[in-house]
Amino acid sequence: MNQEVAASPDRRRFHRLRVRMAVEYSTQPREKGELFQGHGVLQDISLSGVYFHYDPRVPLKAGQRLSLAIAASLPGLDLGDTSQICAQGEVVRLDSPQQADSSPGVAIKFLTPPAFLSSPALD
């Protein structure tokens, strides 16, 4: 008897877009009081959040809030200006590096809808 295993339904509410873009993040942990800033590489984004690889020297933990700025090249919309996707988010998951030479990953749930900001190109 040949039985097929039904694939589990995807629990995600929104489709993920797989992209590699630079992301800058900052956080101010309550217990330390100082501002931490770091850079990472975005792996995917959806309307509900992002997943990126981050610098492990910046302390992150579940429930922590971050400010995000994602470099987005959108020449069709801003005619060459530098654009960013900005949002506030909360850490929902931290993943260990998959390989010895890779960075850890973090899943962020948006707390505010992402906003697209454009700044004029420097001359």
DSSP notation for 22-59: EEEEEE--TTT-S-EEEEEEEEEE-SSEEEEEE-TTS-
The CA-based angle 43-92-59, given to 5 degrees, is: 80
Assigned architecture for domain 17-119: Beta Barrel (2.40)
* Domain residue limits, the chain: 17-119
Does the pLDDT of residue 1 top 50, yes or no? Answer: no
- Which residues share a beta bridge with 89? 66, 110
* pTM (two decimals): 0.75
What's the pLDDT score for residue 12? 57
Q: Retrieve residue 18's tokens.
A: 């797989």
pLDDT in tens, 26-74: 987 666 667 889 999 999 999 899 999 998 888 899 999 999 999 876 5
Instruction: Determine the Cα–Cα distance for residues 114 and 123; give it in Å rounded to an integer.
Output: 28
